[in-house]
Amino acid sequence: MAATRVFGACSRALMAAAAKGAASGVKTAAKTAAPKSRGSTALQKMIPVSPQLGKFLGASESSRAGAVKKVWDHIKLHNLQNPTNKREIVCDEKLKTIFNGKDRISFTEIARYLSNHFVKSS
């Protein structure tokens, strides 16, 4: 153990005490504390989308994560990844409507192009 080399006997005593507490069923503060509720993050929040993205998704609003997932589902279903370079997406007519008419995009650009389709709140 790296800790025993650094702290010597002190770490052995602490490790033994921790093992003894775990074996006897003693609950620590970390185990008894209630998990914090995280609420809705920006990626999970439902937001109105542009008509082009709405037509692609089949809904007038979507979460950012949900939209990316549907795009990836479409890419996988129609085998649109370049077989020699899996990072490159070959856009079909449906994807071109949401990716500004581009023939090919990198998978890292998907979120950037989709962000243009989410209505900005003021």
Q: What is the pLDDT of residue 29?
A: 52
Instruction: Encode pLDDT of 37-69 as tens digits.
Output: 566 676 788 889 999 999 999 999 999 999 999
Give me the chain's average pLDDT, please. 81
CA 54 to chain CA mean position, Å: 21
Which amino acid, residue 12?
R
DSSP single-letter state for residue 62: E
pTM of structure: 0.63
Structural domains in the chain, sorted by start: 47-115 (1.10.245.10)
Question: Does 1 have pLDDT greater than 60?
Answer: no
- As to burial, measured by CB atoms within 10 angstroms (0-12 exposed, 13-18 middle, 19+ buried), residue 107 is middle
From the CB of residue 37, how many other CB atoms can be counted at a distance below 10 Å?
Answer: 5
Q: Is the pLDDT of residue 2 over 80?
A: no
Give SS3 for 15: helix
Distance of CA 45 to the CA centre of its chain: 13
- List, for residues 113-122, the tens digit of each pLDDT value: 999 998 876 5
